[in-house]
Amino acid sequence: MKGSKGSGTRWIKGLAFAALSMVSSHSWAGLYDDGKVFLTGGVFTVDGAGGGGAVPWATITGYETRDGINGGVGFTYVQLPNYSLNFLGGSIGFFDRFELSYVNTKLSTNLGNVDTVALVASVLNVDNNLGLDPNGSNLHMETYGAKLRLFGDAVYTSDSYLPQTAIGAFYKVNSTKEFVKTLSAAEDKDWEAYMAFTKVFFRYSTLVNLTVRYTSANQIGLTGFGSCDNGHRNCNNDKEFRVEFSTAYLLQKNFAIGGEYQQHGNQQKNKPVDTGDLLAGDGNGGLLNPIVGGLVGGVIGATNLRDSLVQNESDWYDVFAAYAPSKNYSITIAYLFLGDIAVAREQNGLYLSLHATF
């Protein structure tokens, strides 16, 4: 795929965010605060909010208390059989009450079936605005987030069963619009809202979190929002409530293990990749059918290729270990069970995340 437009703009926005997060050293000395207990602000999540890796918690990011400000930057790398993902961003918490975050995400694909369509279209010099690259297509998304703590304290009221409760929202913009449309999504940008409930039980060294998200995202928004029939007809982008869960057990004050569950939608279930008239079904005169058939084994091969371009989506699970040598940085290692992502099946793999706080 050609280099996506606005990549420079994304980095400018990211740098602007970082700059706005900083103040003069004199002012920062008076506002900087890191009085929270280790790891209770969460780690860097794929959406940017403080949480458990995939699921946002009700706790505010960083180690600040109500007396100051704390924030951080994070990088996450995920390696799956047919995809790799990079997440780079930052967040800042204000007085343990409010949080702002930003993440730039890149998903790189290694999909032989999609690459075959892109290759043949390229050889024939046919540009059907698919957004595909024969050398591997990429998706780019930016996520802007905000979170507000409403009431409760997850840590310091352990004698109460009242959880810390927060509301939050994300605005996600996918700049690879043609690719998202090819994946039969209704929209390439949209908002999400969520409410999170977090409680730490010190007696059991355990954190429990429940999050309810209102969204229409496919694969957290990486493959767009909602769905359409072939030809971008009969589009539906209705949001729904989805449940997410996290738990963590503190083996030591700075070392935790745990797991997460994130419910996903089924809007793209059995939806084909929308190649327009390039790879139409039998009898519809698909422009690439004869050539693709020759490449992959005749008419049967072309039919199998079409069948392989049917999408699906699974709920996400993970198990993780997080270690914070100090309050200035932490590392999280996880194994992900992501199931079906678009046209690729059984996408399970490793996750590595680094988070530095200031």
* Residue written as token pair 């975050």: 101
For residue 311, what pLDDT is reported? 87
Half-sphere exposure of 277 (CA within 13 A, CB side): 6
For residue 182, what pLDDT is reported? 84
Tokens read off for 185: 């999504």
pLDDT digits (tens, 9 = 90+) for 48-104: 999 989 999 999 988 777 878 888 899 999 999 999 999 999 999 999 899 999 999
Q: For the domain 7-273+309-357, what is the CATH superfamily, name and number?
A: monomeric porin ompg (2.40.160.40)
d(CA 85, CA 316): 15
d(CA 341, CA 76): 18
Residues of the chain with pLDDT > 70, as a percent, come to 73
pLDDT digits (tens, 9 = 90+) for 245-283: 999 999 998 899 999 999 999 998 888 887 765 555 444
Residues of the chain with pLDDT > 90, as a percent, come to 48
* Residue written as token pair 């992900």: 336
DSSP 76: E
Domain residue ranges in the chain: 7-273+309-357
Q: What's the predicted TM-score (pTM) here?
A: 0.83
d(CA 233, CA 258): 43
For residue 56, what pLDDT is reported? 96
Max CA distance (Å), the chain: 73
Give how far the C-alpha of residue 69 lies from the chain's centroid of Cα atoms, to the nearest Å: 26
